[in-house]
């Protein structure tokens, strides 16, 4: 949610900026809704003020003996007020609902440092780390490697659920678990995050708070309860909403939360993309990092957060690059986003494995997450940030492909040794 006051103040300029995000703001509609809201609000409030005044007078008249007649006259004098008020309130509610609907579907404004651009081709590479390995043999992709190991099976998963699911078994299942545990421990012990366990079913209010609703309802899995539960598409939703409706004192900030959860996505818009393998699944695991901070700290925090995600890839000995997303490629709520892209030798290209965003006050305003600014003494919206630290399934893919051996076995990176019971390589069990 943009600041409604700022939008009111200069809608034309805001519309210009929103164009770079493929959003066309209907200024005329906005202003007419705003006018109507304002008019009905004034009208109802003055009717309410009158009602309150008369009602108090009725009470006073009834309290003093001998003025019962005055009370009767007062009551008669507001005979039609109730209906006017009801009509006014209904009109006001309608105007507010339409205005909210409009406001809730406007994406965030990009930070001035965000490169202008249409789509992912206009993203800017910020840095590269690690060198893609030269293989003296033909590399296999993770699907091939997994099948040869007998530990990754898409047909079994299809039998259980459908397409875009996987069954991992034996060493690969353990490697997958080890990756998640390693990431959690790294962020908890070395980066200062608080370990958090959150619900993976949430209500619509939580999804509204982080911006998935109302616009992206089709991307979410829901239950058939009434009202429905939503399966979280990312732990960003429950973690960020921990601050919803609260007013923090400056001393309580910043909040740094990490959670490891399943994530569920219908991926309605992605059919035909990445249909092979574990890159794009309906269910996947992710270790998520969330910061709730004072506004002036949020951009320094974005750099730190990105660094925490990078540390995962460095320790797993994976080559990657950091990319600043352009205006046209950023997510709905983000003011600035860095993607971490890991090298996949089978595809000879870098693929997204983490996305770190500063949402500034966009989510905080939707969920009313505030702090008391000591300088003003007033509650003001916080800034929220989130980043994957990192996607576990994609990390498994990256480890398999980058650390594969000629015989199809997988070298286990050293940092995972404590989580793998000393197992240094995943190989096909002897028949």
Partner RNA sequence: GGAGAGAUGUCCGAGUGGUUUAAGGAGCACGCCUGGAAAGUGUGUAUACGCCAACCGCGUAUCGAGGGUUCGAAUCCCUCUCUCUCCGCCA
- Return the active site residues: 265, 280, 352, 355, 394
* Structural tokens at position 194: 């608080």
Maximal CA-CA distance, the chain: 107
d(CA 368, CA 240): 11
- Tell me the HSE value of 257 on the side-chain side, using a 13 A CA sphere: 24
Specify the residue, 7 or 186, whose C-beta has the smaller distance to RNA: 7
Minimum distance from residue 379 beta carbon to RNA (Å): 4
Count H helices, E strands: the chain?
13, 17
Chain centroid to CA 208: 10
Specify the residue, 379 or 408, whose C-beta has the smaller distance to RNA: 379
* Pairing relationship of beta strands 370-372 and 247-248 according to DSSP bridges: parallel
Are the CB atoms for 240 and 384 separated by under 8 Å?
Answer: yes
Specify the residue, 58 or 305, whose C-beta has the smaller distance to RNA: 58
DSSP symbols for 130-188: S-PPPPSS----HHHHHHHHT-EEHHHHHHHT-SS--EE-HHHHHHHHHHHHHHHHHHH
Specify the residue, 72 or 118, whose C-beta has the smaller distance to RNA: 72
Closest CA to 21 of 104, 157, 118, 150: 118
Specify the residue, 40 or 154, whose C-beta has the smaller distance to RNA: 40
Minimum distance from residue 146 beta carbon to RNA (Å): 30
d(CA 390, CA 351): 13
Minimum distance from residue 133 beta carbon to RNA (Å): 44
Minimum distance from residue 292 beta carbon to RNA (Å): 17
Helix (H) or strand (E) holding 388: strand 383-391
- For binding to RNA (CB under 7 A), which residues are involved? 4-5, 38, 41-42, 44-46, 48-49, 51-56, 58-59, 62-63, 74-75, 78, 81-82, 86, 247, 370, 372, 378-379
Minimum distance from residue 5 beta carbon to RNA (Å): 7
């Amino acid at each position: 949610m943009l600041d409604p006051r700022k939008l009111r103040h200069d809608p034309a300029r805001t519309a210009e900026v929103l164009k770079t995000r493929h959003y066309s703001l209907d200024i005329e509609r906005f202003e007419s809704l705003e006018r109507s809201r304002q008019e009905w609000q004034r009208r109802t409030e003055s009717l309410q003020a009158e009602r309150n005044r008369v009602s108090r007078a009725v009470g006073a008249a009834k309290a003093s003996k001998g003025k019962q007649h005055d009370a009767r006259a007062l009551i008669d004098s507001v005979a039609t007020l109730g209906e006017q008020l009801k009509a006014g309130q209904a009109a006001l509610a309608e105007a507010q609902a339409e205005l909210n609907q409009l406001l809730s579907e406007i994406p965030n404004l990009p930070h001035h440092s965000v490169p202008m651009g249409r789509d992912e081709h206009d993203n800017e590479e910020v840095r590269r780390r690690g060198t893609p390995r030269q293989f003296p043999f033909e590399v296999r992709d993770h699907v091939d490697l997994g099948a040869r190991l007998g530990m990754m099976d898409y047909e079994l998963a299809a039998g259980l659920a459908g397409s875009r699911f996987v069954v991992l078994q034996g060493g690969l299942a353990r490697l997958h678990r080890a990756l998640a545990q390693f990431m959690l421990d790294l962020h908890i012990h070395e980066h200062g995050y608080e370990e958090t366990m959150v619900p993976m079913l949430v209500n619509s209010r939580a999804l509204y708070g982080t911006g998935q609703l109302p616009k992206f309802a089709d991307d979410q899995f829901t239950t058939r309860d009434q009202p429905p539960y939503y399966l979280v598409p990312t732990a960003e939703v429950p973690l960020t909403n921990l601050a919803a409706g609260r007013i923090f004192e400056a001393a309580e900030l910043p909040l740094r939360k990490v959670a490891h959860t399943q994530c569920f996505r219908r991926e309605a818009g992605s059919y035909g993309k990445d249909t092979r393998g574990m890159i794009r699944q309906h269910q996947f695991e992710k270790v998520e990092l969330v910061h709730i901070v004072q506004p002036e700290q949020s951009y320094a925090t974005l750099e730190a957060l990105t660094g925490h995600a990078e540390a995962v890839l460095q320790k797993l000995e994976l080559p990657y690059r950091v990319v600043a997303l352009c205006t046209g490629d950023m997510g709905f709520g983000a003011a600035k986003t860095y993607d971490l892209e890991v090298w996949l030798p089978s595809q000879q290209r870098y693929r997204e494995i983490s996305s770190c965003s500063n949402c500034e006050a966009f989510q905080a305003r939707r969920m009313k997450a505030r702090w008391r600014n000591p300088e003003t003494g007033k509650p003001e919206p916080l800034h929220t940030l989130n980043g994957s630290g990192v996607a576990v399934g994609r990390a498994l893919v990256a480890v398999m492909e980058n650390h594969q051996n000629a015989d199809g076995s997988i070298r286990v990176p050293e940092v995972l040794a404590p989580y793998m019971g000393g197992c240094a390589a995943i190989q096909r069990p002897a028949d």
